[in-house]
Amino acid sequence: MDILTQFEEKIERLLERIRNVEAENVRLQEELNSEKGQKQEVLDRIDGLLKKIQEVSI
């Protein structure tokens, strides 16, 4: 195997690694957005409960 072939193979492996990392990044970004949405729902529910408690306490 000559040096040029080795270089080509290494470049192909690196490109495949980049594609894998990009795909993982997309997946993680989607997961993060989902988690942010769930967090906001919880915060909204807590705010609603706190308002109800304040109304009763007054």
User: Could you read off the pLDDT of 1-58 as tens digits, one per residue?
Assistant: 799 999 999 999 999 999 999 999 999 999 999 999 999 999 999 999 999 999 887 6
pLDDT given for residue 44 in this prediction: 98
Q: What is the largest CA-CA distance in the chain?
A: 83
Whole-model pTM: value is 0.71
pLDDT given for residue 58 in this prediction: 66
The domain ranges of the chain are 1-58
pLDDT given for residue 1 in this prediction: 72
- Dihedrals φ, ψ of 2, to 5°? -85, 170
CA 12, 14, 17, 21 dihedral sign is negative
